[in-house]
Structure 1
Amino acid sequence: MAPLRPVEPSGDGTYSLNLREDERALIATIVPDLRSVLADNPGDEMLTRLFPTARPDDPDAEAEYQEMVRDELVSKRLDRLDMVAELAEATVLDQEQLAAWMGAVNDIRLVLGTRLAVSEEDDFESDEDEADTPESVARSAYWYLGWLLEHMVEASASEL
């Protein structure tokens, strides 16, 4: 019997969320942290990848753009995080809930990637001497969330 994937389509428009307790605990810990930063410190540098510059060559147009869309983008992200927090123990998700999970997991990865200064050149080879440092734990979370997001996207795409 093949091991369960973390997210599997059920065939009826819903998805089985097959997460272990430690995986759920990770999500339950990270979601409020990101929510707090978004709600209380929307200008925090850790959010740079969530709100990339749209008009880098025109500061006035960029400021106008940010004024026009920033609050709505923050609100949508907060709503997604709230839904994921409410569904942290769920074992079945509908399409809207899965989309919220995908968005929240992606947002968390973007913020972690900023914190870790992840670039396309990173190979993240493990260093056993640093197995329990805060950075190695954050890197492990970053890679786990990427793996989880990949499975969420695959499950969602298989239902189309």
Structure 2
Amino acid sequence: MPGHFEPLPGGGAAVALDEVEISIIRSLAVQLLELIGPGPAENAPDDPLAELFAEGPSEPPSDPVLQRLFPDAYSGPDVEARSPEEQRAHSSEFRRFTENDLRAGKRDNALTVIRSLDALTPAGDGGAVLELSPAQSEQWLRALNDLRLAIGARLDVVDEEDTELLYRLPDEDPRKPMVLAYLWLGGLQETLVETLMP
């Protein structure tokens, strides 16, 4: 079980994590929460119905990580031939009505990671076995994906070739710790996907 998820009887997944691994995942999840920002509830007026009808931003975020986490819905090579103006208008409208919910989902996933790590009872070596319910496993999977997207954006990973270049970075490269985290999280994510497959 060390370093990879395994299925639990009755559903869910488990992984043994040492003290350093717990600290790294928790720190990355906290940073992701800070990047995503507070939910509308923190800034909402006293009227609880106002939050239900709050509209999100209509412009894409300027931060490359947030652009990766919240991409335009109507742009890119797979979109039908539309004028750039039409693509921007459709993307803007879609973002306005969906981004708040997307951010809330990503916040919930990151919070599930943090809370489940905080609830661990460490063994004598500081490590612990994390056991997740099926629902928590799915939230962890989405959070691991978001963490990898965020780190990948910082490392300018766009395609498989970029990932291959990361393996060849010299040890003295300042990006090396981030690369190791990116690759390690990818391994965790892959074993969690395998665990959740029927």
- 1:112 — aligned with what? 151
Aligned 8 A contact 2:13 2:133 in 1: yes
Corresponding residue for residue 189 of structure 2: 149
Does 1:128 find its partner at 2:171?
A: yes
Q: Spell out, residue by residue over 1:30-70, the C-alpha distance to the aligned partner (whole angstroms, 9 max, x if none).
A: 11101001015x93332111111111242111100000100
Alignment of 1:89-100 (within 5 A): 89=120, 91-100=130-139
Q: Which residue of 2 aligns with 1:71?
A: 100
1:22 maps to which residue? 20
How many residues align? The count is 152
1:98 aligned counterpart, secondary structure = helix
**Distance (whole Å) between structure 2 residues aligned to residue 129 and residue 81 of structure 1:** 31
Aligned to 1:140: 180
> Structure 2: how far apart are the matches of 1:77 and 1:102?
11
CA distance in 2, matches of 1:45, 1:119: 12
Greater alpha carbon shift after TM alignment, 74-83 vs 47-56: 47-56
Code of the residue aligned with 1:34 in structure 2: it is L
| Residues 20-99 of structure 1: pairs in structure 2 closer than 5 A | 20-39=18-37, 43=61, 44-56=63-75, 57=84, 58-88=87-117, 89=120, 91-99=130-138
TM-score (norm 2): 0.72
Partner of 2:4: 6
3-state SS in 2 of match to 1:92: strand
- Contact 2:3/2:188, CA 8 A, preserved across alignment: no
**Gaps in structure 2 of 5+ consecutive residues:** 39-56, 76-83, 121-128
CA contact 2:12–2:135 (8 Å) conserved in 1: no
Length-normalised TM-score, structure 1: 0.87
CA distance in structure 1 between the aligned counterparts of 2:142 and 2:5, rounded to whole angstroms:
15
Runs (4+) of structure 1 moved beyond 4 Å?
A: none
Aligned-residue Cα RMSD (Å) equals: 1.7
Counterpart Cα distance in 2 of 1:64 and 1:37: 23
Q: How far apart, in 2, do the equivalents of 1:154 and 1:65 lie?
A: 33
Q: Is the 8 A contact 1:5 1:151 kept in 2?
A: no
Q: Distance in 2 between matches of 1:60 and 1:25?
A: 42
| Greater Rg by CA | 2
